[in-house]
Amino acid sequence: MNDKINELELELKRLKSKIKKDNTAKELNVPEKDIYRWHAPSRTFSYWSSKVVITVILWVSLLILGLFFLKEYPLIFTIIVITIVSIFLYRIKPSIIEHRITNKGIYAFNRFLAWDDIDTFYLAHKGDTTIVYLDLNLIYPQRLYLVIPDKDIKNVVTNLKDFVVYLTLKKKQSYFSKLTDGEYIPLNELL
């Protein structure tokens, strides 16, 4: 019964959002106006010290040595590539970029997303970082995530919820989901 109610509430929110989007679509002649803008890193970042890098290299070397005796050369190559990419991602700081919320949509990563392109959004904590996930109505990308500094969380959520439905989880988040996406933040904790 609760699942049915949650589905109906989500559908009602989507319909209200669609009505709002239709009303804003009628106002196409209205000039674009910035509502809120913020600067944030382009991705989450956790620095690996030299000690951690050396430890990773030693463990990977032991694994490669074992795979060498088993003559698993393609797997060895794959592990080496993944290790090198991981070391670069955890050692090189991401660039700082600007995101903007306007009356017609969002500018993220120098790309414009109209309100019609965004289905739902939600926030999650991943480590020390807060991320806003935008579920899109596009073929590619289907989901976009933007890092939000702590000082901007309330303003971003307040402005986004006026145009897009905040996603409510229907079931408890799994361990794997928390590990990959971060821990979901309910809307009532944000406002």
Residue-range definition of the domain harbouring residue 73: 50-91
- Are 106 and 134 in contact by the 8 Å Cβ rule? The answer is yes
Asked if pLDDT for residue 171 goes beyond 90, the answer is no
> Rounded to whole angstroms, how far apart are CA atoms 187 and 154?
10
CATH number of the domain at 28, please.
2.30.29
Same structural domain for residues 84 and 164?
no
3-state helix, strand, coil in the chain (%, to 5): 45, 25, 25
- Are 123 and 153 in contact by the 8 Å Cβ rule? The answer is yes
Same structural domain for residues 67 and 104?
no
Same structural domain for residues 172 and 112?
yes
pLDDT tens digit sequence for 33-58: 889 999 999 988 888 888 999 999 99
Query: What's the average model confidence in pLDDT over 89-110?
Result: 91
What pLDDT was estimated at residue 19? 66
Q: How many structural domains comprise the chain?
A: 2
Name the band, by pLDDT with cuts 50, 70 and 90, for residue 76: very high
Q: Tell me whether strands 118-126 and 111-114 are parallel, antiparallel or unpaired.
A: unpaired
CB atoms within 10 A of CB 108: 20
What pLDDT was estimated at residue 23? 55
Asked if pLDDT for residue 176 goes beyond 70, the answer is yes
What pLDDT was estimated at residue 190? 75
Q: What's phi and psi for 160, nearest 5 deg?
A: -70, -40
Q: Tell me whether strands 118-126 and 129-136 are parallel, antiparallel or unpaired.
A: antiparallel
| Sign of the alpha-carbon dihedral angle for 90, 92, 96, 97 | negative
Same structural domain for residues 104 and 158?
yes
Q: What's phi and psi for 98, nearest 5 deg?
A: -105, 135
Return the closest-CA partner of residue 136 out of 96, 172, 108. 108
pLDDT tens digit sequence for 1-35: 667 777 777 777 777 766 665 555 445 567 888 89
Query: What's the average model confidence in pLDDT over 72-92?
Result: 93
Same structural domain for residues 105 and 154?
yes
Same structural domain for residues 24 and 82?
no
